[in-house]
Structure 1
Amino acid sequence: MKIDRRSFLGLTALAGVGALSACGPDGSAPPQGGGTSGGATPDASTVLPTYQAFEVAAPDLPSDAEFSLPGYYTYPASPTAATTETPGAGSSITAMTYTYDPIAPELSNNQHWQNINSLLGVDLGITYSPSADYDAKFATTIAGGDLPDMINIRTVQQQMPAMLAATFADLTEHLSGDAVLDYPALAAIPEGTWRTAIFDNAIWGVPIPRSPIGGVLYTRNDLLIERGANTEPANYEEFVEMATTLTDASKSQWAFGDPGGLLSHVAQMNGVGNQWVEENGEFSYAQASPAYEQALADTVAMIEAGLFHPDSAAVQNTERNEWVNNGTTCFAYGGYAGWSKFFVAGAGIEGFQMTGQVAPGRDGGDSVRGGSGFSAGFMAFKPTDDPERIAELLRILNWLASPFGSTEFLARKFGVEGVNYTLEGSDPVLTSLGAAETTLPLRYLSEPPSVLYEPGNPDAVDQQFEFMAKASPLIVPDPTTGLYSETAVTAGATAATALGDARNEILAGRQPVSSWSTAVEDYMLEVGNSLKDEYEAAFAAQA
């Protein structure tokens, strides 16, 4: 199975998920499903929408490194309209999704939401819930049968192909091949991201693209420089030396605060990026490899050396992030989308630099990174016999996916000028009201491919772009992308939780590293061998 650059931008695995902490697309805990999105048979490439890039503003930093993102220092002074007509026909549209952000003010008290409805030409009602509650909300909604017009399907469900066919509209004729070109912003969604919405050779929704870069070892580079530490260790030994230099318990200073996240980073050093490895059609579970057990031993050794905050295993990510912001620790591990939040928190700190450190190879050379770009789910539609209703919904999502630099993007992300944001030069800066109202989860309905942009902070764009340029060539495709496994969605999550608990016990010092092999053997007997067989069968059918 060939995966090219555009196809690859929708890949979905994170190495080390479940180890004390892990971060989802917005720096929060991701949904635990145990499987990947996408159908296995027939080959999804026969129905994939035609890819066509859509750019309305030339980037300051073109993404010349494979899988990296373009960078923009400022918002265009004269934004360009990406659409030529109002997408809606004055109807009422209901949508259901989730959020990682605070709940926004309701429609009657939200000028941003009112403005979006006016620009869309519809009465858009959005029902949403916190990420942690969404799976239950989704299940209840499907069971009740009273569907909204659009609903975000963010994780693979049991009997997924049959459930989709019985419950949602088949969008293939509207989006397959050149049909998608009627919706230019949707045509710019990477091919691999579309695969997350394709089952049994049919398109069941519009996917929401996210960056492929995955987890980042966020680094207070200014503290490393201040304390005389090596900012670019070339191997594991130099990495430990760096951490030792940064640690002084007498001053309440430690290198790390997140054992689970650091394990993911060290696993990359040891050549473990994805959870599964494919070679000549045969799959193997990477966390059963000696290389992963070595990464576990390496992380435990750093814990025992006192390089972690003593409360590391007992706190939430919000507190770990605060440790980095106030200089108690120097590193945090999280999803790429959380980077901007660090820049906001560090805005008042003189010399603040939040870079990303790329893992070196354990013994020098290059590490690997998992193919961990993913979609934030896909928007499925309630069945209807009216093709114009489908077209209207697609036009709404197309408008919401308008690219950076457009007037539509500005309105969707920043709201109403003078109310939700003011301009500093050409850059929109949120007001306090804007910060509250723009948490409306439009980005979990539809969104364009990511770019690098930090209003008023070009240095932050440079820091992210530099990381992307170094990290993106190390990405290795996840071979399970687009392969459906029923075992993964029925028993996978429970077994993965048990395996994660075993890993946590080792990181907490309550079990020896040698116990890992037994835990993995149990996992393989419970679900791993079945996953292997199902992935291999699906891979063979799709090859």
Structure 2
Amino acid sequence: MPKFDSQPLSRRTLLGTGAALGLSATVPGCSNAGRGGASGSNDSAAKAKVRPAYVRYDGVKADLPGEQYGIPDGFLRYPADPVQAITQPPGDGKPIEVMTSTNTPIPPSVAQNAFWQQFNERVGSPVRLNLTPSVDYSQKFATAVAGGKLGDIFSIGNIPQKPQMLAAKAVDLTPHLAGDKIKKYPYLANLPETSWNAAIFDSKIYGIPIPRGAISTEVLYARKDILDAQGLPAELKSADDFVELCKALTDKRKNRFALADLPTAYVRNMFGIPNTWKEADGKLVSSFEDPAQEEALALVQKLWKSGYIHPEAFTSQNQDRKTRFGNGTGPLVVATFSGWPTYLQTMDQEAEIAIIAPPAHDGSGPGHTWLGAPTLSVTAISKSAEDRVETMLAYLNYLATPFGTSEYLFRKYGIKGIDHQVRDGDPVLTKKGFSETQLALQYQADGPWAIFLPERKGSTESCFNAMKEICPKALPNPVDGMYSETGSRKGAQINRDISTVSDDIIQGRKPVSDWAQAVKKWKSAGGDKIAEELYAQYKSSR
């Protein structure tokens, strides 16, 4: 359920095992932004007093404006003469130590990486990266906090007493960023106002948010070329239609399984299950408690028993599902809209992507889709770098330069002729570029997402149109990003426990009826307390 990254962390994120970079503990399905603090002073009025001003960047006109639909703008071409947004390198010549996560393979070292070398030159400081796979980041973060090895800049991970940890370890950025003060860093000022809620604890700004929102919405990707070749539709009217599609796509002689990974979130959307929480009768109710959960699990169990899900779905990682989708051995996969560029990288030029919206399970109409969280994660500046705070903010401002600038073009596509080729006037990453540019820059700071997919003709329009169709009607989490101390301390463990029961049910080791007892245990082990803490913040923010 949680939306953590441009790609889901692993199949366990469908049951919310705790987001690696997020500030929150809004379990079940931890979102990636933490809005609340420990003192009760974090209501909307308190946040408004310190929230940075918003100054929209209008330096490039969108071909496909998305604001009215609540989705990113789409761009069909990169400007031929991009604006230079930064006139002076942000660095001070000294190393910048960064600790963050990655969802892609570790890039070549700086000595073998021409992009990294030129990036350091443009920054004006050598950037040293401490990268950890996202599934392991929370543990790595806790160890780094205990050992005092957070570096200069760090992505905030999941740890108990997070507000207190931030007060002890992170620079209070309020004097630098509150209100109009942020205008010194114009590309940080271009970040959406709602994203900053994730960085405010106890009326202090403790980091830079990385905005996402609708682009992080999870949907069902389909290999349209494979569907077309078999005469199969890219639309569904019921759960039975979904099962039949999976049956038709599965061909064990070709080592093809319809689903590259578990479709749990997609199936839950067919059954109208809430996005993590819902308000009912003056309290928050977990989506785990929804009566339709057992029906949804029974359907996923049926797909598993029928052999329609890849047999390594429970043990494989994020890159595995991309590979299966790309080579056609898993032509259906649940992923975020933001994953479109990396999925294109895995596919032949003839291949196409389609998005299949979830139908209501009983054929009564469309299903619903869970809307992505407004903030992906938050990046803080360590107190060990407090004497260089303006350098660190200038560096993060550089990373937030928006689409249409020369800085964005370099960050995303690297060196012309090495990391990208120009095709019909647009940059397209080479295989070398896809490897070299994976410095996790987008998890340190980033501007608002832009839909720009030059790798495949028509892809920008396809992605934009799918988002335009799905996202305006998508269902948000009512307490997205609000902070629960109990969730921070216990959420990961109790979610792992209930996830294990779900795994056992899907694989047939336990009956579906065991779900009710698992939910009861989850509630008594901390779920009910999390609901109370989140609801208190929810009421104070209305």
Superposition TM-score, scaled by structure 2 size: 0.87
CA contact (8 A) 1:73 1:457 kept: no
In structure 1, the residue matched to 2:131 is 128
Q: Who is 1:460 aligned against?
A: 459
The residue correspondences of 1:76-95 to structure 2 (distance < 5 A) are 76-95=79-98
Alignment-derived partner of residue 293 in structure 1: 294
Partner Cα distance (2:295, 2:318) in 1: 25
Relative distance call for 1:147 and 1:505 in structure 2 (3 A) is closer
Q: 1:251, 1:441 → 2: CA distance?
A: 35
Give me the whole-angstrom Cα distance separating, in 2, the residues matched to 1:85 and 1:310.
52
Distance in 2 between residues matched to 1:379 and 1:13, nearest whole Å: 14
Provide the C-alpha distance between the structure 2 equivalents of 1:315 and 1:369, rounded to a whole number of angstroms: 25
1:468 deviates by 0.7
Structure 1: distance between partners of 2:9 and 2:141 = 23
Counterpart of 2:380?
Answer: 380
Give the letter aligned to residue 440 of structure 2: P
Tell me the secondary structure at the aligned position of residue 423 of structure 1. strand
Find the aligned partners of 1:469 and 1:186 in 2 and give their Cα distance.
26
For residues 308-362 of structure 1, give each alpha carbon's deviation from its aligned partner in whole angstroms, at most 9, with x where no partner exists.
Answer: 45565565554444443343443112233332232122224x3x11122111223
- Give the secondary-structure state (helix, strand or coil) at the position aligned to 2:225: helix
**Residue aligning to 1:238:** 241
Which one is further off, 460-469 or 497-506? 460-469
**1:409-488 aligned within 5 A:** 409-488=408-487
The amino acid of 1:400's aligned partner reads: L
Q: Is the 8 A contact 1:211 1:449 kept in 2?
A: no
- Specify the SS of the correspondent of 1:449: coil
Query: In structure 1, what residue type is equivalent to 2:539?
Result: A
1:214 and 2:217 equivalent? yes
Alignment of 1:16-27 (within 5 A): 21-22=12-13
Give the share of equivalent positions with the same residue, in percent.
Answer: 33
Q: Secondary structure at the match of 2:84?
A: coil
* 1:160 counterpart (146, 159, 162): 162
Q: Which residue of the partner structure matches residue 143 of structure 1?
A: 146
Offset at 1:398?
0.8
* Alignment check: 8 A CA contact 1:277 1:286 kept: yes
Structure 1 residues 170 and 253, CA gap change in structure 2 (3 angstroms): closer
CA contact (8 A) 1:325 1:342 kept: yes
Residue 65 of structure 1 contacts residue 472 of structure 1 at CA under 8 Å; is this kept in 2?
no
2:188 alignment partner in structure 1? 186
Give the superposition deviation at 1:279.
4.0
- 1:364-405 deviation digits (Å, cap 9, x = unpaired): 333222232354422211237977x32222111111110011
Q: Mark the runs of 5 or more structure 1 residues left unpaired by the alignment.
A: 1-10
Question: Deviation at 1:133?
Answer: 3.8
The aligned amino acid for 1:398 is N
Report whether the alignment pairs 1:98 with 2:97. Answer: no
Does the 8 Å contact 1:246/1:254 carry over to 2? yes
Task: Tell me the secondary structure at the aligned position of residue 268 of structure 2.
Answer: helix
What is residue 510 of structure 1 aligned with on the other side?
509
Q: Using a 3 Å threshold, how does the CA distance of structure 1 residues 249 and 415 change in structure 2: closer, same or farther?
A: closer
Q: Quick one: distance in 1 between partners of 2:443 and 2:10?
A: 26
Instruction: Return 501-510 or 126-135, whichever deviates more.
Output: 126-135
Deviation at 1:234, TM superposition (A): 2.4
> Is residue 2:50 matched to residue 1:47?
yes
CA-CA distance at 1:273 after TM superposition: 4.0
Q: How does 1:514-525 map onto structure 2 within 5 Å?
A: 514-525=513-524
Aligned counterpart, 2:261: 258
Aligned 1:64-75 pairs, distance under 5 A:
64=67, 66-75=69-78
**In 2, Cα distance between equivalents of 1:365 and 1:478:** 22
Aligned to 1:217, the other structure's residue is in SS state strand
CA displacement, residues 511-542 of structure 1 (integer Å, 9 cap, x when unaligned):
11111111111111111111111112222333
- Residues 120-129 or 506-515, more deviating: 120-129
Rounded Cα–Cα distance in structure 2 between residues aligned with 1:275 and 1:456: 35
Q: Which amino acid in structure 2 is aligned with residue 206 of structure 1?
A: I
In structure 2, distance between residues paired with 1:38 and 1:542: 10
Equivalent position SS for 1:452 = coil
**Counterpart residue identity of residue 267, structure 1:** R
In structure 1, distance between residues paired with 2:412 and 2:346: 20
Distance 1:457 1:23 in 2: 29
Cα 1:529/1:178, change in 2 over 3 Å: same
Question: Does the aligned pair in 1 maintain the 2:305–2:507 contact within 8 Å?
Answer: no
Alpha-carbon spacing, 1:250–1:65, altered in 2? closer, same or farther (3 Å): farther
Q: In the TM superposition, what is the alpha-carbon distance from 1:500 to its structure 2 partner? A: 0.3
For the residue of structure 2 that corresponds to 1:325, the secondary structure is helix
Residue 211 of structure 1 deviates from its aligned partner by: 4.5
Which residue in the other structure is 1:60 paired with?
A: 63
CA 1:515 to 1:280, structure 2 compared with 1: closer, same or farther past 3 Å?
Answer: closer
Using the TM superposition, give the Cα deviation of residue 420 of structure 1 relative to its aligned residue in structure 2, in angstroms: 3.0
Q: Secondary structure at the match of 2:155?
A: strand
Deviation at residue 205 of structure 1 after TM alignment: 0.6
- TM value normalised by structure 1: 0.87
What is the DSSP-based 3-state SS (H/G/I as helix, E as strand, rest coil) of the residue aligned with 1:458? coil
- Cα distance in 1 for partners of 2:523, 2:145 equals 32
More off after superposition, 487-496 vs 57-66: 57-66
- 1:92 shift after superposition: 3.7
How large is the RMSD of aligned CA atoms in angstroms? 2.9
Looking at structure 1, the residues matched to 313 and 96 of structure 2 have their Cα atoms a distance apart, in angstroms, of: 45
- For residue 18 of structure 1, report the CA deviation from its aligned partner: 9.9
- Uncovered stretches (5+) of structure 2, i.e. residues with no partner: none
Q: Deviations over 1:247-273 (max 9, x none)?
A: 4556655433433xx121111122124
Cα gap change, 1:132 to 1:108, in 2 (>3 Å): same
Q: How does 1:214-363 map to 2 (within 5 A)?
A: 214-247=217-250, 253-259=256-262, 262-279=263-280, 281-309=282-310, 312-313=313-314, 315-348=316-349, 350=350, 352-362=351-361, 363=363
Moved more, 423-432 or 516-525: 423-432
Q: How many residues align?
A: 521
Cα deviation, residue 478, structure 1: 1.3
The DSSP-based 3-state class of the residue aligned with 2:449 is coil
Residues in 1 aligned to 2:337 and 2:482: alpha-carbon distance in whole angstroms: 25
Q: Is the 8 A contact 1:13 1:275 kept in 2?
A: no
- SS state at 2:458 partner: helix
CA contact (8 A) 2:20 2:136 kept: no
Q: CA deviation at 1:289?
A: 1.0
Query: Structure 1 538/386 Cα, relative in aligned 2: closer, same or farther at 3 Å?
Result: closer
The alignment partner of 2:383 has SS state of coil
> Post-superposition shift, 1:159?
0.7
Contact 1:483–1:535 (8 Å) recurs in 2: yes
